Amino acid sequence: MVLELQNITMQFGGVKAIDDLSFGVKTGEIYGLIGPNGAGKTTLFNIVTGNYTQTKGKVAFNHEELSGLKPNMIVQRGIARTFQNIRLFKSMSVLDNVLIGFHNQANYTYLESILRLPRYFLYEKKLKSDAMNILERFGIADHAQTNAASLSYGNQRKVEIARALATNPKLLLLDEPAAGMNPNETADLSQIIQNIKDEYGLTILLIEHDMKFVNNMCDKVLVLDYGEEIFEGRPCDAIVDEKVVAAYLGDFKHA
Amino acid sequence: MKAIKIAFLVVAVVFVWFAQNHFDPYAVSILNNIAIFAILALSYNLINGVAGQFSLEPNGFVAIGAYVTALFLIPAATKIDMFALDAPSAGVLAMHTSFLPALIMSGVVASILAFILSIPVFRVRGDYLAIVTLGFGFIIRIFAMNQPTYTNGALGLNDIPEKANLYWTGFITIVTFVIMLNIIYSKYGRAMKAVRDDEDAAIAMGINTFWIKTYAFMTSAFFEGVGGGLMASMLTTIAPDQFTFLLTFQLLIIIVLGGLGSMSGTILGAVLVMGGTEWLRFLDQNMDIFGYNTGAHPGLRMVVFSILLIVLMLFARRGLFGNKELVDVFRRSK
């Protein structure tokens, strides 16, 4: 198990966003997190990344407890994320966006950058070629010097994933990676995600509403509704599960 | 690329040398003023423009720098004569060094204070940050006003040895400019810009944003302190009232005009704002327009200057340089 959540409860005032949830993600798996809007999927991401502190329960990453760590420390442990609404660094070039992901791998001090000592040049050169490598994988190397905000929506998504990948993660959290994409772009993206997963030996936890995408990609899904688990298993079984259908479309039988 | 940078440096150095030796004293004093404001604005732009932390404290750090340098330069005997309100404290009397160590001490003291200040200050973001830092500027001035054993209170310090000339101010401007660019084009500069664009996304990239902001703040304070020291030595007299919020405001005009986040723009902004207010001085005097004497209108200069500023900002909303540097212009053309 790369990621293990035990009895997680998250309470905002009187609202229980997540209620006593437990699940685990195995190494090398693509694990899907689905459910209607407001089911608590993004809240769960925020708990894993340390943005929220859960009311109850434990999160373990590679058998180490994550609770109490600051979000930037959790990234350094090897959990990277993308955001539901794309959050690129808009004033910067695509290359700089990816270079920011490499921040902690650039091993030179503040003084070394001010005085331009050899280590500065050494690492900047290495990281620039690493960053270009990642951009090539995503097929956006031509846009390296372009301002990130002026890219198409699909390409901005790619930059966001490329940037997360630059932090050298073991576990990648993707929050609706295919949202707002046309079928061609979605197919392209799932191919890229498969490729990088194999190449970097990643485990992926993703939130997605596009069921075709989930069906193609995920080894396993967890369906949430009102912060509670209603189904865990293979995606093809999820679509025919009574409770899942009821959660999405309403309960016709008992109406 | 490298050749262009070196050419810029050589031109700047030769200009400083030429101006100090061949310009008349009035022109040199204006250039001194421009250089000092350029140093202050460059460092202010690092925290405000590059790291995007809207802070309003530079008058505080400039005051600290000015007082530290002044106290280090004035001989002990002069201090005893000068401190009229209260006898100077033993520590103040013992302070004495030459000019360069005094300037460095100014920077160090300012940046240590910046470090202490950053702990409470960077707990808040946005407008709240502006208010908290504004308060710091006031505190420093009130401290200078009410601690006559250290600062001679409202009387200020006079007879500061005039060590600053264009070599000092000019070369320190060049050094500051180069250091700022070196920071911007490193992982720290990128991280500062990331904090400016989206702090939460920067955290999600594993950046410890508190330290990045603190680095920017301390660096900024260091050069504001040094600039303050140069200012004290150039003016030879300082008093708490010189370091009001208006000083911060002037720097803000320079960096907004030049472009938030652009160091090249800041230099141009300093030249335009400090040089422009001097150049427009003829407006305050009697003028003959086609034989009609307009009479003297003191203050007309600032009216015209403000109108020019408004017009400039209307046509260049994001400042003259936006957030680009001069080298970017050359890079694009290749």
**Does A84 fall in a domain?**
no
Question: Chain B: nearest CA to A110, how far in angstroms?
Answer: 7
B310 — pLDDT class (breaks 50, 70, 90): confident
Q: Which of B9-23, B105-119, B147-161, B318-332 has the highest mean pLDDT?
A: B105-119
Q: Give Cα separations from B131 to B216, B222, B246 (angstroms).
A: 19, 21, 15
**pLDDT (average), residues B315-324:** 83
User: Is A106 in CB contact (< 8 Å) with chain B?
Assistant: yes
CA A47 – CA A53 distance, rounded (Å): 6
Report whether B69 contacts B227 (CB < 8 A).
no
Inter-chain contact B204–A75, Cβ cutoff 8 Å?
Answer: yes
Question: Chain A: nearest CA to B119, how far in angstroms?
Answer: 17
Among A71, A75, A113, beta carbon nearest to B182: A113
Residues A156 and A177 in one domain: no
CA B168 – CA A147 distance, rounded (Å): 39
- Mean residue pLDDT across chain A: 91
Residue with tokens 């695509």: A94
Residue with tokens 């007299």: B237
Residue percentage of chain B with pLDDT more than 70: 98
B333 — pLDDT class (breaks 50, 70, 90): very low
**Does A253 fall in a domain?**
yes
pLDDT in tens, B10-38: 999 999 999 999 999 999 999 999 999 99
Inter-chain contact B186–A102, Cβ cutoff 8 Å?
Answer: no
Residue with tokens 């290359």: A95
Between helix B25-45 and helix B263-270 the angle, nearest 10°, is 150
**Does A184 fall in a domain?**
yes
**Does B252 fall in a domain?**
no
Residues A199 and A238 in one domain: yes
pLDDT in tens, A165-193: 999 999 999 999 988 888 998 999 999 99
Instruction: Please name which of B308, B259, B263 lies closest in space to residue B283, comparing C-alpha atoms.
Output: B308
CA B325 – CA B305 distance, rounded (Å): 26
- Mean residue pLDDT across chain B: 91
Is the per-residue pLDDT at B163 higher than 50?
A: yes
Residues A207 and A252 in one domain: yes
User: Is B21 in CB contact (< 8 Å) with chain A?
Assistant: no
Q: Which residue of A has its CA nearest to B177?
A: A114
* Domain CATH for A228: 3.40.50.300
Question: Chain A: nearest CA to B198, how far in angstroms?
Answer: 6
Q: Which residue of B has its CA nearest to A172?
A: B204
**pLDDT (average), residues B200-209:** 95
Inter-chain contact A72–B323, Cβ cutoff 8 Å?
Answer: no
Size of interface A-B (CB pairs under 8 A): 89
Q: Identify the residue among B184, B187, B325 best suited for mutation to test binding to A, counting A beta carbons within 10 A and taking the highest.
A: B187
Residue A20, H or E segment: strand A15-25
Chosen domain end from A130, A149, A166: A166
Beta bridge partners of A58: A6
Report whether B47 contacts B218 (CB < 8 A).
no
Residue with tokens 């979605």: A186
A255 — pLDDT class (breaks 50, 70, 90): low
Instruction: Please name which of A174, A182, A159 lies closest in space to residue A217, comparing C-alpha atoms.
Output: A174
**Does A217 fall in a domain?**
yes
Inter-chain contact B190–A92, Cβ cutoff 8 Å?
Answer: yes
Instruction: State the pLDDT at residue B92.
Output: 87
DSSP assigned state of A92: S
Instruction: State the pLDDT at residue B175.
Output: 95
Is the per-residue pLDDT at B135 higher than 90?
A: yes
Q: Which residue of B has its CA nearest to A148?
A: B197
Inter-chain contact B197–A167, Cβ cutoff 8 Å?
Answer: no
pLDDT in tens, A12-50: 988 889 999 999 999 999 999 998 888 889 999 999 999
CA A39 – CA A14 distance, rounded (Å): 16
Instruction: Please name which of B248, B332, B198, B215 lies closest in space to residue B61, comparing C-alpha atoms.
Output: B248
What token pair was written down for A176?
């609706």
Inter-chain contact A163–B205, Cβ cutoff 8 Å?
Answer: yes
What token pair was written down for B207?
């950046």
Is the per-residue pLDDT at A214 higher than 80?
A: yes
Residues A182 and A214 in one domain: yes
Residues of chain B with C-beta less than 8 angstroms from the C-beta of A83: 201, 204
Question: CA dihedral in degrees (B249, B190, B36, B322; nearest 10)?
Answer: -60
Question: Chain A: nearest CA to B35, how far in angstroms?
Answer: 21
CA A70 – CA A172 distance, rounded (Å): 17
Residues A142 and A102 in one domain: yes
**Does A83 fall in a domain?**
no
Residues A181 and A253 in one domain: yes
Is the per-residue pLDDT at A252 higher than 70?
A: no
Residues of chain A with C-beta less than 8 angstroms from the C-beta of B215: 110
Residues A107 and A231 in one domain: no
Q: Which residue has the higher pLDDT, B232 or B88?
A: B232
CA B324 – CA A13 distance, rounded (Å): 46
User: Is B193 in CB contact (< 8 Å) with chain A?
Assistant: yes
CA B309 – CA B268 distance, rounded (Å): 13
Chosen domain end from A166, A181, A204: A166
Inter-chain contact B202–A100, Cβ cutoff 8 Å?
Answer: yes
**Does B161 fall in a domain?**
yes
- Three-state DSSP class for residue A122: helix
Is the per-residue pLDDT at B334 higher than 50?
A: no
User: Is B146 in CB contact (< 8 Å) with chain A?
Assistant: no
Instruction: State the pLDDT at residue A254.
Output: 61
Instruction: Please count the structural domains in chain A.
Output: 2
Question: Chain B: nearest CA to A113, how far in angstroms?
Answer: 6
Inter-chain contact A89–B208, Cβ cutoff 8 Å?
Answer: no
List Cβ neighbours of A58 (8 Å cut-off, separation of 6 or more): A4, A5, A6, A7, A8, A65, A67
Residues A49 and A25 in one domain: yes
**DSSP per-residue codes, A23-77:** EEE-TT-EEEEE-STTSSHHHHHHHHTTSS--SEEEEEETTEE-TT--HHHHHHH
**pLDDT (average), residues B207-224:** 96
Residues A254 and A131 in one domain: no
- Three-state DSSP class for residue A4: strand
**Does A178 fall in a domain?**
yes
Report whether B189 contacts B183 (CB < 8 A).
yes
Chosen domain end from A123, A138, A166: A166
Residues A190 and A255 in one domain: yes
Inter-chain contact A100–B207, Cβ cutoff 8 Å?
Answer: yes
**pLDDT (average), residues B220-248:** 95
Inter-chain contact A167–B202, Cβ cutoff 8 Å?
Answer: no
Residues of chain A with C-beta less than 8 angstroms from the C-beta of B196: 91
**Does A39 fall in a domain?**
yes
Report whether B277 contacts B305 (CB < 8 A).
yes
Residues A118 and A244 in one domain: no
**Does B318 fall in a domain?**
no
Inter-chain contact B206–A113, Cβ cutoff 8 Å?
Answer: no
- Three-state DSSP class for residue A8: strand
Q: Tell me the residue range of the domain where A198 lies.
A: 1-78+169-255
**Does B320 fall in a domain?**
no
CA B308 – CA B303 distance, rounded (Å): 9
Instruction: Please count the structural domains in chain B.
Output: 1
Q: Tell me the residue range of the domain where B32 lies.
A: 24-244
Inter-chain contact A71–B209, Cβ cutoff 8 Å?
Answer: no
3-state secondary structure chain B: CHHHHHHHHHHHHHHHHHHHHHCCHHHHHHHHHHHHHHHHHHHHHHHHHHCCCCCCCHHHHHHHHHHHHHHHHCCHHHHHHHCCCCCCCHHHHHCCCCHHHHHHHHHHHHHHHHHHHHHHHCCCCCHHHHHHHHHHHHHHHHHHHHCHHHHCHHHCECCCCCCCCHHHHHHHHHHHHHHHHHHHCCHHHHHHHHHHHCHHHHHHCCCCHHHHHHHHHHHHHHHHHHHHHHHHHHHCCECHHHHCHHHHHHHHHHHHHHCCCCHHHHHHHHHHHHHHHHHHHHHHCCCEECCEECCCCCCHHHHHHHHHHHHHHHHCCCCCCCCCCHHHHHHHHC
Residues of chain A with C-beta less than 8 angstroms from the C-beta of B209: 72
Residues A107 and A46 in one domain: no
User: Is B198 in CB contact (< 8 Å) with chain A?
Assistant: yes
A85: how many CB neighbours lie within 10 A of its CB? 8
